[in-house]
A and B are shown apart, each in its own frame.
Chain A
Amino acid sequence: MSAIHLQGLSKKFGDFTALKTMDLDIADGEFMALLGPSGCGKTTTMNMIAGMEEPTQGRILFGECDMAQVPMGRRGVGFVFQNYAIFTHMTVRQNLAYGPRMHGASRPEIDRRVGAIAELLQLTPLLDRKAERLSVNILQRVAIGRSAILEPAIFLLDEPLSNVDAAFRAVMRTELKHLQRQFRQTMVYVTHDQLEAMTMADRITVMDHGVLQQVGSPIEVYNNPANVFVARFIGSPGMNLLPGRPAESDRGMVIDLGPVGLTPLLPAKLAQRLRGHGGDVLFGFRPEQATIAHEGRGMKAPVTFVERIGARIIVHLGQSESAMKVVLDNDARVSLGASAIITPHMESARLFDRASGAAIGQGA
């Protein structure tokens, strides 16, 4: 019943297309993250699921039920707003009791449910506090509790951690994931922070400019990006993408990267897919999946900058189109300005069509 199906969903605001035709199935009990930069249509999608906005076209189904005629108060959807939208003029108790009260529950029934949800979320000692002066993590629990008390089958969360400082976000992520395990609802989680999506979601839907880019588990999206946008967007820093064209060497197939030189041999599978392709490609490899040496043969580029980020260093190499980054342990010896030999881990390297940006020969 609580699976969500989006069928040919689109939304236009005047001339502006917020969401192009989108099809998406979210399974019952799944934690789905909608991930993308701001303005990619993720919040619009969620608002349509909640019923706050009317789709321009397409259908939204919860299980078998078409939601078109169901107003937002009747969809059985829990919604946690970006700023939590706690009723600041009420106490925690009144906030939690709001849903049942509006649904006409009896006084003892309300007390019982508020008691139970407060116990679950460890809000019992705070019940009679004014919601105005609570800290962010408590506000989040109140926001979740206020929706959860109605036992919605579907929970929608709109960037709930974006107002929280970085250190605290880690705590909240764990707490949220823990809560989802407790409630076992279908969760749709909108975020622009890939770390949140990666750590919490069962599956991630990557979006950009109102277009669905890829749906998959966090590891799939990371390992096998469907296109250049996902490759760059996921990972920090994103995947290196170097323009080149396929070339045959004496031992097999490689990519000629122009000034950078030739890549190591392509793995057999990748080489096979590439044969049918022809034309210019983008050679992609993860900054974490490469090593650097100062001597030897292979891809060559000068070190232009070294960023130190504590445990790791990010080495910037090459320029303009063939700029790339490699992440190394912080004890690696790299000399600035010197030419370096880059050896990517070829099993995890990926190829993309240069014109369309789509992945070639996906799957390991």
Chain B
Amino acid sequence: MTMAVASENEMSAPAPKSSAPAQDERARLGFRLTLPAQILVLFISAFPLLMQAYISLTDWSPLSGTNWWNAWEMWNTFANYTDLAMDGRFWSALWRTLVVMLVCVPVEFLLGLALATLFADDFPGKKLFYSILLMPMMVVPAVAGYMFFMLFQSGGPVNDVLSGLLGFPVAIAWLSDPKLALAAVMIADIWQWTPLMFLILLAGLVGVPQDQIKAATLLGANAWQRFVTIVVPKMKTIIIIALAIRVIENFKIFDTLYIMTGGGPGVATETISVYIYKVTTQDLIWGYVAAIALAILVVLSVAAVLAMKRMAANREAAA
């Protein structure tokens, strides 16, 4: 033991003199070796962004007959952005996206948490139910969209079940009613993504130290008190991760929804992704599309940075 310490001291004693230049040399070599990969990554991530920024300042469209790099011929400075600020369809799509998120993510979270709590204990048939529960997550979103499109037809199974439960024939036109269509879309999203929430939260729940739960019980805490004072604080990080994943994913909601309603009836289920898709493929005004995408990117980035700062501050306050 003492020998090891002594030899370590001998090793480190002369090191500081020679290490500074050596370290610099190593760092430079490392930089040179990773440079090609760095450039490639930079190109992949930065180039589309710069291209987008460039096009967003023009009236360029693939139909305009010029190549994109010549888009400066149609330079319009910030006209796309001022148009965007006045675009009611854009703002209502953004609002709708937020509504979907504010309904779906909390419902998915609460359902996922409840299921995770259930699955943290053993019960007969647990493995079977576990597999069944995870299946929606494996379904291709486009297929899920088609499934729910069929389910919510006015002669479809959902109405049949409702008829059976209520005792009189129900024929709700789910997907052609502007209000119900959004609800149907949300139900599909909740069906498909609650399992992911469940899976992440279960992993967190299983990681809560059992002896601390027992200690809390011995100190007189009932199940709800244990949940609030021990389980939730211990799962805080994983809860934040689960919520962050779903918030980001849900903001981009598209495939299931598009197959179910195509954004309709009218624009009743048009979320931001659907709106961008329509402007891109139907209206073909790509300069404007670039402006929308860039604006959303900026807004999301700012939100993400603020959220992360808040989390870091929390962690520091907690430490």
Which A residues are within 8 Å of any B CB, using their own CB? 50, 52, 72-74, 77-79, 81-83, 85-90, 98-99, 102-103, 130, 146-147, 150
| Sample of 22 A–B contacts (CB below 8 Å) | A50-B218, A72-B214, A73-B218, A73-B219, A73-B221, A73-B222, A78-B218, A79-B214, A82-B211, A85-B211, A85-B212, A85-B215, A87-B212, A89-B233, A90-B233, A98-B219, A98-B221, A98-B229, A99-B219, A130-B319, A146-B219, A147-B219
The minimal Cβ–Cβ distance linking B95 to chain A, given in whole angstroms, is: 37
CB < 8 Å neighbour of A102 from B209, B214, B220? B220
Contact A73 B234 (CB under 8 A): no
8 tightest Cβ-Cβ pairs between the two chains A and B: A85-B211, A85-B215, A99-B219, A102-B220, A102-B221, A89-B233, A73-B220, A79-B218
Tell me which residues across on chain B come within 8 A of A50, comparing CB atoms.
Answer: 218
Write the chain A residue with the least CB distance to B209: A85
Tell me which residues across on chain A come within 8 A of B216, comparing CB atoms.
Answer: 87, 98, 102
> Which residues, 217 to 237 on B, are CB-close (under 8 Å) to A?
217-222, 225, 229-230, 233-234
CA distance A235 to B220 in the complex (A): 40
> Which residues, 56 to 81 on B, are CB-close (under 8 Å) to A?
none
Tell me which residues across on chain A come within 8 A of B212, comparing CB atoms.
Answer: 85-88
CA distance A90 to B234 in the complex (A): 10
Tell me which residues across on chain B come within 8 A of A52, comparing CB atoms.
Answer: 214, 218
Interface of B is mostly: helix
Tell me which residues across on chain B come within 8 A of A81, comparing CB atoms.
Answer: 211, 214-215
Which B residues are within 8 Å of any A CB, using their own CB? 209, 211-212, 214-222, 225, 229-230, 233-234, 318-319
5 new A-B pairs (CB below 8 Å) besides A85-B214, A90-B233, A99-B219? Answer: A73-B219, A83-B211, A98-B219, A102-B216, A102-B221
Tell me which residues across on chain B come within 8 A of A87, comparing CB atoms.
Answer: 212, 215-216, 229-230
CA distance A103 to B318 in the complex (A): 25
CA distance A130 to B214 in the complex (A): 21
CA distance A296 to B220 in the complex (A): 69
Tell me which residues across on chain A come within 8 A of B319, comparing CB atoms.
Answer: 130
CA distance A24 to B217 in the complex (A): 26
CA distance A249 to B221 in the complex (A): 70
Residue of B216, B218, B222, B319 contacting most chain A CB atoms (<10 Å): B218
CA distance A79 to B165 in the complex (A): 52
Contact A89 B234 (CB under 8 A): yes
The minimal Cβ–Cβ distance linking A159 to chain B, given in whole angstroms, is: 12
Write the chain B residue with the least CB distance to A143: B215
CA distance A74 to B214 in the complex (A): 13
Write the chain B residue with the least CB distance to A75: B218
Contact B215 A102 (CB under 8 A): no
Tell me which residues across on chain B come within 8 A of A98, comparing CB atoms.
Answer: 216, 219, 221, 229
